[in-house]
Structure formats: structure tokens, C-alpha cells
Structure 1
Amino acid sequence: MTIRFDGQVAIVTGAGNGLGRSHALQLAARGAKVVVNDLGGSVHGEGGSVSAAQTVVDEIVAAGGEAMAHGANVCKADEVADMVKATMAKWGRIDILVNNAGILRDKSFAKMEENDWDAVIAVHLKGSEVCTKAVWDIMREQNYGRIIMTTSSSGLYGNFGQSNYGAAKMALVGFMNTLCLEGAKYNINVNCLSPVAATRMTENLMPEEMLALLKPELVTPAVLFMASKEGPNRAVIAAGAGGFARAVVLETEGMAFSEEDATPENIAANWGTIADAATGKEYKGGNEQTIKFLTNAQKVRG
């Protein structure tokens, strides 16, 4: 089976460089009409120019594909609405949204200023929400959609100096978890990509020999899979250097105590059992956790 996107329309944010550029080029190579969105700012979110996006569009057109550039700031609902309106006017549908736009403002939490926190949260989290909201009703009405958030190992596992970035990236996993429930009956799949790639955001963080292995093009296959008709729903796919894995949030079975025994001392005494990862289970909704606690409480209380 060859994954193709003929007749489909994709919007890729932050697609002027790096991962976004790779996603846009490979979607187009497989038949998608692509909106290449990029504000054209620096890695810190400063400045702006549509030239980077237009360069990618020119590459796609030169290869025989269809594409258009748009410089919408993903944090601004009116600019994103204009992008969506232009897309609908040109092609009449939107099948795929890849929320890829991002910036960095790395500092230890002790040294981080509020504007560093706010700027990163705005682009990664608010920007993904604004773009998703702008296409959500379109996808509901056409009974089809594929939305991909870009999370990070910094959110899933932590990274020194990236409390703002990590908080925003983990929030996108929570965003996905609810959207996939609300979009299921409309055939809207929502997934997350956790990439490791050599981009403007990582070029100063790793040695050259490591960066050489981390080509953005070796991450994009995960996006193509998640964007496909046969793709998963509610998956966090980690990707880098041609390797792919699934990250999962697990909850242990834990222990239930009677009312009298539900004390911090008993938690401490039984922490090994409570925290035993071997009993971990993946839940598909918050209600499953509630049911577990209620069921176990009834067993303890008779």
C-alpha cells in the first residue's frame, strides 16, 4: 500500500524551514495541495517575512505540485482565518493540518522573564489552538480531518532550561487527548509528533556529527503516516534519525485503602506497590481512571 494524498489539501505551519519545510515538500510529493504557512521570523519569534514560505512553494511548483504561501501569525485568529478563507476559496476543502510552528526562549526558570514564558506558550499552545479551531468546523462538516500537533521530548520527559517550551509541548498532548474524543464521530484523527531533528532550533545544541544523522526528512514519514486515511488516532509518535517509537502515558494499578487507612503514612509504606510500573495501563479517557478508583474502593470497603 502506497500512502497518497491526491485530492487532499494540507496546511503546514512554520513550513518555511526545517521540519515544516520537509513536511510540506513530502506531502506535496505525494499529491497533496499544500498551504505553506510561515511568519518568517527568527527562531526567537522576532521579525517576519513571507519569503521563506514562498521559496518552499516555488520548490513544490517546480516539482509539478500545487501550493500557496501564507504569512499568518498562528497566534492571531484574524490572520489564521484569512489563511483558511484563502485556502477554501482556492481549493474548497482542508483535510490535513500540521501544527508545526514554534519558537525557543531557553533560560533556566530562575532567570526566565514573563515575556519569555508567554511568547513560547503563545506560539506553541495558543497557535495550535487557533489554527485547529479555524479548521475544526470545516473538517466536521466534510466528515474528515487529520490534525497533527508537534510535542517534544522536552515536554514528555523534561529538558534543562526549557520550562516554558516543555510546558507548552506537554499541553499539546492534553489538547490531543480531548480533541480525539470529540472528533471521533466526524472521522477527525488527532495525533502528536515528538521529533528530534537538525533544525534552526537544535543546530547549537548538538555536535555536527550528530546533527548529520538527524535530517528532518527522516522525521516526516511519521507525519505522512499520521496524516493518512489509514493513520492512527491519539498516538504520540517519537521520530528521529529514521527511528520511530510510540510514547505512552501509563497509570499504575495502585492501591486502595479504607477511609481510616487512607493516610500519607500508608502511602509511604506502600509506595513500591503503588508506583510499580509493571502494573501500568494506558487509559483512553479520564473516566477510566475514575472507574478504577471507584471499583477498587468498593472492593476495599466491601
Structure 2
Amino acid sequence: MGFFDKLGLSRLKEGLTKTRDTLRDKLAFVSRGKTEVDDEFLEELENILVAADVGVETTLDIVDAVTVRSKGKTYRSEEELNEMVMGEIRNLLVESGHEHPVDFDAPLSAKPYVIMIVGVNGAGKTTTVAKLAHNYDKAGKKVVIAAADTFRAAAYEQLKIWADRAGVPIIGQGQGADPASVVFDSVSSAVSKGTDVVLVDTAGRLHNKSHLMEELAKIMRVAKKKIPEAPHEVLLVLDGTTGQNAVQQAREFTKFVNVTGLVMTKLDGTSKGGIVLSISRELNLPVKYIGVGEKIDDLQLFDRKSFVEALLEKEK
């Protein structure tokens, strides 16, 4: 399976429209009539990148690179100046950061392979579970979903609707049940039926962090009773529209949970998609998946180079 087919790349570009247009429009405005980089231009460039949630550290590196590249140079047009700036942004963002994960059809390191999904309510956690299930199922993997968010009313029903769309089975016991018991049943079933992937949806409340983290730790202990290495992945789902608040949420979770990767959702609804490019650098965690739409096919493996190209692509 190709990493980015034409359809996937088209959806990525469409999903990043707001961020791309905002970035290019603002840059075009501040460079109007300019043929060289001055202090005013550099200050405005810094403001534009920070507004797109590229992150302070990454922004300063980009501004420094543009300063060095443009020193003593005059550009023939503002368009040429813009393309130089975009080139420096592209170079820095592609070169920094983690490698993308393997495709969904790649061999897994364990069977069943247990993936726990964590995150606050409203971040898109439940839909991410279903979209991951859909992708693994489409890639030929046998999947089961564990409905371990037993705290939130109607959580099971919501997940069941998405699981049906994905065409994968779901195991749950309804609101108020013991989440660890649901996970034990799901992992036991996966072992007996030769299932490839177990996706565990968890509660997302943060108002009582100690209780939530104790619950997540209990889920992990129970899973290990059947599979000592489980969970093999812990994915933290973050809402891309919340910008730097997502960074704060991630810091809270990583204090208590051994997060192995990030999922950034709702990027089609924000002009601050630059958060994807800074968050992995700030947290030293890979962004593994991104959501660029509401459809079940709109969760993609994160490829940094393709993301930057889609974000900075010049309109034809």
C-alpha cells in the first residue's frame, strides 16, 4: 500500500486549506512591495508563525534561518522573496522531527497488538478509535474494539455506531462497568480468536486526574495478565483546534502515562495547523496520525514531508 496515494494527498491538502491560506495570505501582505528582508519583515514573520501555532522555538529557528539566507541579498520580486522564506520553513520543518510510522498493512510486532487510546473528552478520541479500526481492517488485519470508556453516558452507543461504520466488532459492558474488566474480556477474546489488533477506548475526564490515571494504570495491569508486553502503544489524541492548549494537555497526560505517540485531530477546522509541526519537537513524541476530516477515511498516517508540502504548496 502506497504511503500517500493521490486521494490521500488531495484530502490532506484540502484539510489544511485554512492554515495554508492564512499563512500565505499574511506572508504576501507583509512582503508587499519588498525586495529585501529587513527587521520589520522578520518581526512580522515571527508573528505569523506564532499565530499559526508553529511554536516559539521552531519559529525562532525559522527566523534565524531566513536572516542568514537573506543577508546582503536583494530579491527581484516579492514573490521571489516569499518563495525563499517558504523554502527555509520547508527545509527546517522537514529535517526536524520523528520518522512517520509504518503503514497499516505492515507486519505487527505482536499478536494481538494492543493499542490504548487516551485523551480528554471532545478531542476526537472515540472517532479516532473507529478510524484506526477501519484502516487496520482495510489493510487485512483482524480488529476488535474494547469500549473501556464506561464513565461517560452513551459512550458505548457512540462507539458502537462508529464500529459498525468501520465494520469491526466491539466488546463492552455499558455505563458504570469496570473498564479493566472490559479490557480483560477484549484481550482474552482476541487471544482466543487470533485477532491482530485490539483498540482500547478509555475515559477522557481530567477533572479528577489521580482517579483517571489510577484507572488507566489498572487497565494496563489487567491487559498484561494476558499479554505481558501490552499495551504495545499508547496514543494520545489531541484536538488541533485548541492550539497550545493541546500541548498543555499532552504534558499533563505524559506525567502519568507512558505515551508512545500522538494523534492530532480536526486539522480541517483550524488555521493553526502549525501545531503539528511544533508539538512533537516540544514533547519529544512522534505525531503518528492526523485527522483532516470527519469521514471514516479521513485519518492519515503522518508523513512530515507530505504534510509540509501540503501546508506550503503554492496555489496553481
Shorter-chain-normalised TM-score: which range?
0.3 to 0.5
- Larger relative helix fraction: 2
